[in-house]
A and B are shown apart, each in its own frame.
Chain A
Amino acid sequence: MSIDKEIVRKVAGLARLSLSESDLERFTPQVAGIVKWVEMLGEVNTENVAPLANVVNVDLKLRPDIISDGGYQDKILANAPESMEGFFVVPKVVE
């Protein structure tokens, strides 16, 4: 499927990127070109191939569910664009 501006607009919305019309004009052919290029993978038969997610076969370890870290609210908030009384501040969500 070829990618047009409306698809890129939708994807930008999903990715929470407020792109201008001129941004969309610019990115659409680039994204379409790259997606078309990666579609060459379609020529390889992968019917009996399992997807590979982890290259080093490391087993994920379980650990005791105990608190081993924390207690530094000030550090967590140190880089916040806006904070108040120990909380992050965001625009009003509930009317």
Chain B
Amino acid sequence: MTELTNQTIAQALEGLKKKQFSAKELTEAHIKVMEETRHLNAYITETPEQALEAAQESDKKITAGDMRPLEGIPIGMKDLFCTKGVRTTAASKILGNFVPQYESTVSGKMLADGAVILGKTNLDEFAMGSSNTTSAFGNVISPWKRSDGSNADLVPGGSSGGSSAAVSARSCMAATGTDTGGSIRQPAAFCGIAGIKPTYGRCSRWGVIAFASSLDQPGIFARDVKDCAIVLKSMSGHDPKDSTSANKPVPEFAAALTGNVKGLKVGIPKEYNVEGMPAEITAIWQKGMDWLKTGGAEIVDISLPHTKYALPTYYIIAPAECSSNLARYDGVRYGLRVDGENLNDMYGKSRAAGFGNEVTRRILIGTYVLSSGYYDAYYIKAQKLRRLIYEDFINAYQKCDVILTPTAPSAAFAIGENDDDPLKMYLNDVFTVPASLAGIPGMSVPAGLDAQGLPLGLQILGRHWDEETVFRVSDFIETAAAFDAVPQMVKKAA
């Protein structure tokens, strides 16, 4: 069965079409891996029965010669997307046993295109975190191990850590994520897979449990760039139910993978050469430049002068929006309720019992920066900085077509390693947050391994709505890097 779980979506669609295997067999093979890799805690809720039903439906469609774009492809759904009739938790106690009565737009589009949902993947609570260690359903463990034999459990990155771990461990072929400050790109880099956050507004946020609405954007993880392109096509498009979803045509993303980067201008922002960056990260960044140069691209030095203010800007805007969005959890309409002496007491007790540490901390910060007398000094100030950061990118794209950076300042760290200091944890997102604030598309592709055998990713950023160039360059780097490493546990299973 290993062959079935060791192929790309493009290959699987071809195999299904040629009836080399059935959708049921493909789904069963992935369910088997999902069961065998439960120790990774990548899934909060498994839905094998629904998956098998959907797979049988797919087989009927295939027999009838009526294949849809994702027919029979087993995927994981981040447990932040509401799924009709299937418990949706946001990895928080406060949602209790919330069962949505509706389907999120993105998951609905994927189902309509024939995708088979294997289950709901684990995440940091309300997508707040960079290591998937804030989930009320326990840590996700990366399928990767350091090669020094230490056997320490590593983080899969966050917040979409269940999705990145599942794709990497071969328990699904692709998995959805959401990216607010790097929650797709950083876990993709940590787990040695591809992941894209499209332009803000490309995918509908309707039915995605909100964290920071001006930043949240759905996206996808898969084994390679082409698979991401295939699945993103299905997820994208205008939705009147999300007022910030763009009414723009969705290109055939996979057609953009021409393998040709000749004449493209690739910007290298000098501000991303941060102090104390490991030599291995600098080296892989240089390799990326060399590959592109060999392919005929032109390397251009650029400056994004407000880069160092991106993280503090983000840590005002994101908590402010979080405190406002999470006000809805009041123990009245859904989720956890802890009884109190009166209404206010019930609110306070329910919320204190339902939210974990990181979420509570961000609600406190957000409430403070939005409170009377501080609103202008913090929130408006941050929105002004956000404009400067946004304009940095607009100016840079006068000189270049895409920007190349490392995805994260380190490889995956061990669980617990950065827990003592929230600020230290926030630094993980130093290269991904600026693009989130600007709303531009960004992709991470695996580019090599560090000395301990852990994957390192390169990030490709593009202009607003230009995912096609991002895909083209990412695909070129993927081919040049010839990254074929897989976690030891996947090798063993094969």
Interface residues of B in 339-377 (CB under 8 A from A): 339-349, 351-352, 355, 360-361, 363-365, 367-369, 371
Q: Which residues of A contact B244 (CB under 8 A)?
A: 54, 56, 58
Closest chain B residue, CB of each to CB of A40: B312
The complex places the Cα of A40 from the Cα of B315 at a distance, in Å, of 12
Q: Which residues of A contact B245 (CB under 8 A)?
A: 58
CB atoms of A18 and B351 under 8 A apart: yes
Q: Which residues of A contact B337 (CB under 8 A)?
A: 81-82
B333 at the interface (CB under 8 A from A): yes
CB atoms of A56 and B246 under 8 A apart: yes
The complex places the Cα of A59 from the Cα of B99 at a distance, in Å, of 33
Majority DSSP secondary structure for residues of B touching A: helix
CB distance from B218 to the nearest CB of A (A): 15
A38 at the interface (CB under 8 A from B): yes
Closest chain A residue, CB of each to CB of B348: A18
B137 at the interface (CB under 8 A from A): no
Closest chain A residue, CB of each to CB of B215: A55
Across the interface, A54 reaches (CB within 8 A) one of B199, B214, B345, B364, namely B214
The complex places the Cα of A24 from the Cα of B347 at a distance, in Å, of 18
A67 at the interface (CB under 8 A from B): no
The complex places the Cα of A63 from the Cα of B200 at a distance, in Å, of 22
CB atoms of B348 and A16 under 8 A apart: yes
CB atoms of A88 and B201 under 8 A apart: no
CB distance from A71 to the nearest CB of B (A): 13
CB atoms of A56 and B439 under 8 A apart: yes
B387 at the interface (CB under 8 A from A): yes
CB atoms of A46 and B342 under 8 A apart: no
CB atoms of A56 and B201 under 8 A apart: yes
The complex places the Cα of A75 from the Cα of B103 at a distance, in Å, of 13
CB distance from A6 to the nearest CB of B (A): 13
The complex places the Cα of A12 from the Cα of B355 at a distance, in Å, of 13
The complex places the Cα of A35 from the Cα of B388 at a distance, in Å, of 21
Instruction: Digitize B227-247: 1 where CB-to-A-CB distance is under 8 Å, 0 elsewhere.
Output: 000000000000010011110
CB atoms of B312 and A41 under 8 A apart: yes
Count the A residues whose beta carbon is within 8 Å of the partner chain — how many? 52
A53 at the interface (CB under 8 A from B): yes
CB atoms of A15 and B246 under 8 A apart: no
Q: Which residues of A contact B336 (CB under 8 A)?
A: 81
Name the interface size band of chain B: 35 or more
Closest chain A residue, CB of each to CB of B338: A18
CB distance from B207 to the nearest CB of A (A): 14
CB atoms of A93 and B385 under 8 A apart: no
CB atoms of A34 and B365 under 8 A apart: yes
Q: Which residues of A contact B397 (CB under 8 A)?
A: none
Instruction: Digitize A30-59: 1 where CB-to-B-CB distance is under 8 Å, 0 elsewhere.
Output: 110111011111101010011111111010
Given A81-B331, A90-B343, A91-B342, A58 and B201 contact (CB-CB distance below 8 Å): yes
Q: Which residues of A contact B437 (CB under 8 A)?
A: 55
Closest chain B residue, CB of each to CB of A20: B352
Across the interface, B368 reaches (CB within 8 A) one of A31, A63, A93, namely A31
CB atoms of B384 and A50 under 8 A apart: yes
CB atoms of A31 and B364 under 8 A apart: yes
The complex places the Cα of A91 from the Cα of B340 at a distance, in Å, of 8
CB atoms of B352 and A18 under 8 A apart: yes
CB atoms of B243 and A34 under 8 A apart: no
Q: Which residues of B contact A78 (CB under 8 A)?
A: 99, 101
Residue among A17, A51, A55, A75 with the highest chain B CB neighbour number at 10 A: A55
A66 at the interface (CB under 8 A from B): no
CB distance from A24 to the nearest CB of B (A): 10
CB atoms of B351 and A88 under 8 A apart: no
B274 at the interface (CB under 8 A from A): no
16 new A-B contacts at CB < 8 Å, known A18-B349, A56-B464: A11-B367, A12-B364, A16-B347, A17-B348, A17-B355, A18-B351, A19-B360, A30-B361, A34-B315, A35-B365, A35-B378, A51-B383, A52-B390, A55-B438, A79-B99, A93-B343
Q: Which 8 A-B pairs have the closest CB atoms?
A: A55-B439, A18-B348, A51-B383, A79-B334, A52-B387, A81-B337, A46-B384, A75-B101
